Chains A and B, each alone.
Chain A
């Protein structure tokens, strides 16, 4: 059967990997190329690059990193952050990425997802949603855009269902409440989306322990888990996580 994926996430800012808490207070983690190489050699199923400034300069830097990584690491790479046009997607895929993740632009221009999926295939298009708990939303979570800074008033689940129909192949579900906190993934959030969507779900935000990662799969029903702080700060190695998961009957690629 299909293995559950462990995806290290590299937030890129000016040639460096950084990591924040609740999308703020950035700390320097290291060199993107070295980290990508290290994670790939230690069993990552995919590597996710996130352009956290989405400036012209930063995008150029990330494309260069992706090109270098794609020459030596033959696992899927994904790139997200500030992607607005078909041309940008084209250049990212041409640099060697397998997929792009699109958030803010999907909210502002849902047709971009339809066009991109039609041109590059669903498997290349990941809908990336930054969401926060909100009692005023019908299903309990609100979408934020512009790097988690701007509320949209959109119900996250309803919007995801709409974009699923337009053609995104996966959804990357980022909990702003849990981001960088190591308090565990928001399991209710993952469960809600898992039960109401057909496309694979990548859980993101909050991994702090091995149990947290297991729960994202066994309780939440996620298909993949994005992990940043836990690996960056060397709390665990990817293989340790996978061995633990296998021991708990979660199928992984070891």
Chain B
């Protein structure tokens, strides 16, 4: 079962609604046991990197997530749910991310901030993405040490990684659940692969 992790930050329901719309069953859970039993995991996230990490640690979800990812349970991180896979963020100095990937999260230096609205994803090689417009709402973006994990990029004064795919880990900086039919199909392909 696809399990959407609810840790009290952000609107979790919209992700589940998007799966439901595509005929895919999912549950929302706040319980460690349910998350441990999940066969696929989704971590949505909005707001501040530091707040998200602190909530995850408080609930003990950080360790569960690391274990599940190491066990190769398919994982999807969305927005801040992507960023916390990395080591650090300039949004919250002194608070470590999960450190699944080496690299940091940094702020845009040019253009209007936040980067809000529809922008194009340009896939490199991806199991789930096609070229097209998706909805973003971010001031920060990831800078991986290992360039090969980037599965799509987007231009906003700089070219930044808008998606990552590595083994069973998938992560999007954008919001597929807010990106119309195009976004719903991305979620469907992820759920099926």
A residues bordering B, Cβ < 8 Å? 1-5, 40, 45, 70-72, 74-76, 93-94, 96, 98, 118-124, 169-170, 198-201, 223-224, 253
Q: Are B112 and A223 in contact (CB under 8 A)?
A: yes
Complex contacts, B46 vs chain A, CB 8 Å: 120-121, 123-124
Return the chain A residue nearest B48 by Cβ: A121
A70 and B14 contact, CB distance less than 8 A: yes
List residues of B (111-164) whose CB comes within 8 Å of A's CBs: 111-120, 133, 135-139, 155-156
B165 CB–A CB distance under 8 Å: no
Minimum CB–CB distance for B66 against chain A, Å: 25
List, sorted by A's number, 20 A–B pairs whose CB atoms are closer than 8 Å: A2-B111, A2-B136, A40-B180, A45-B117, A74-B14, A74-B17, A74-B181, A75-B135, A75-B180, A76-B135, A118-B48, A122-B114, A169-B114, A169-B137, A170-B114, A198-B112, A199-B112, A200-B112, A200-B117, A223-B116
CA distance A199 to B180 in the complex (A): 24
Decide: A199 and B114 in contact? CB cutoff 8 A: yes
A3 to B156, CA, bound (A): 10
Confirm or deny: B179 has a beta carbon within 8 angstroms of a beta carbon on chain A: yes
A-side contacts of B155, CB under 8 Å = 1
Please determine whether A199 and B113 come into contact, CB atoms closer than 8 angstroms: yes
CA distance A173 to B120 in the complex (A): 26
Contact residues in B for A253 (Cβ distance below 8 Å): 118, 133
Instruction: State the majority secondary structure of interface residues on B.
Output: mixed
Chain A CB within 8 A of B183 CB: yes
Contact A120 B178 (CB under 8 A): no
Question: B156 contacts which chain A residues (CB < 8 A)?
Answer: 1-2
Chain A residues positioned under 8 Å from B117 (CB to CB)? 2-5, 45, 200, 223-224
Q: Could you say which residues of chain B place their CB within 8 Å of the CB of A72?
A: 21
Contact A200 B114 (CB under 8 A): yes
Task: Tell me the smallest distance from the CB of A221 to a CB of chain B, in Å.
Answer: 10
Q: State the CA gap A99–B74 with chains docked (Å).
A: 30
C-beta contact mask, B176-187 vs A, less than 8 Å → 1, else 0? 011111011000
Contact B14 A96 (CB under 8 A): yes
Contacts of A94 in B (CB 8 A): 11, 13
Decide if A75 touches B178 in the complex (CB within 8 Å). Answer: yes
| Closest A residue by C-beta to B80 | A121
Chain B residues packing against A (C-beta within 8 Å): 10-11, 13-14, 17-18, 21, 46-48, 111-120, 133, 135-139, 155-156, 177-181, 183-184
> Which residues in A have their C-beta under 8 angstroms from that of B181?
74
Whether B13 pairs with A96 at a CB distance below 8 angstroms is: yes
CB atoms of B114 and A74 under 8 A apart: no
Cross-interface CB contact of B118 among A2, A121, A169, cutoff 8 Å: A2
Which residues from A are CB-within-8-Å of B114?
A: 122-123, 169-170, 199-200
Residue of A nearest to B119 (CB): A2
Expressed in whole angstroms, the minimum distance between the Cβ of A176 and any Cβ of chain B is: 24
Beyond the given A74-B179, A121-B48, A198-B112, could you list 18 further A-B residue pairs with CB under 8 A, ordered by the A residue number? A2-B111, A2-B156, A3-B120, A3-B133, A5-B117, A71-B21, A74-B17, A74-B18, A74-B21, A74-B177, A74-B180, A75-B180, A76-B135, A98-B11, A123-B138, A170-B116, A199-B112, A200-B117
Inter-chain contact A120/B47, CB cutoff 8 Å: yes
| Nearest chain B residue, comparing its CB with the CB of A76 | B178
Q: What A residues does B179 contact at CB under 8 A?
A: 74-75
For B48, list chain A residues within 8 Å (CB): 118, 121
A4 to B137, CA, bound (A): 14
Q: Which residue of A lies closest to B181 (CB)?
A: A74
A215 to B29, CA, bound (A): 48
Chain A residues with CB under 8 A of B120: 1, 3
With A2-B156, A70-B17, A93-B11 already in contact, the answer to whether A200 and B177 are too (CB < 8 A) is no
